[in-house]
Amino acid sequence: MKDSFNNIINSETPVLVDFHADWCGPCKMLAPILKQVKDEMGNDLKIVKIDVDKNQSLASTYQVRGVPTMILFKNGKQVWRQSGVLQKNDILQVVKQHI
């Protein structure tokens, strides 16, 4: 998983990674917000969902202590990170700064 994850985040297109868990209520609230973000951004943004229970080593690598945690990568580098639920416009504002 780690190799394919590195291939995904090493992209000129910004990649928003959503570290989540099935049992997490706020994660379920964030899912439709991220869909709206993707619908608005189209091919200018990739969104990847990572289940922390199934990918514990990846969550540990990025020191994800709580879910949901979103990390934005560009060219393999972490350019932004936020835990908790954000509204669509807040996420869009951050993403558009890194296009």
Mind listing the pLDDT tens digit for each residue in 69-99? 999 999 999 999 999 999 999 999 999 999 8
Is pLDDT at 68 greater than 70 in this prediction? yes
Please tell me the predicted confidence (pLDDT) of residue 56.
Answer: 96
pLDDT tens digit string along 2-53? 679 999 999 889 999 999 999 999 999 999 999 999 999 999 999 999 999 9
Judged against a pLDDT cut of 80, whether residue 1 lies above it is answered with: no
CA distance 35 to 33: 5
Active site residues: 24, 27
- In terms of Cα–Cα distance, which of 22, 10, 85 is closest to 49? 22
Q: Return the pLDDT at 2.
A: 65
Structure tokens belonging to residue 91: 């996420």
Cα 48 to Cα 9: distance, rounded to the nearest angstrom: 9
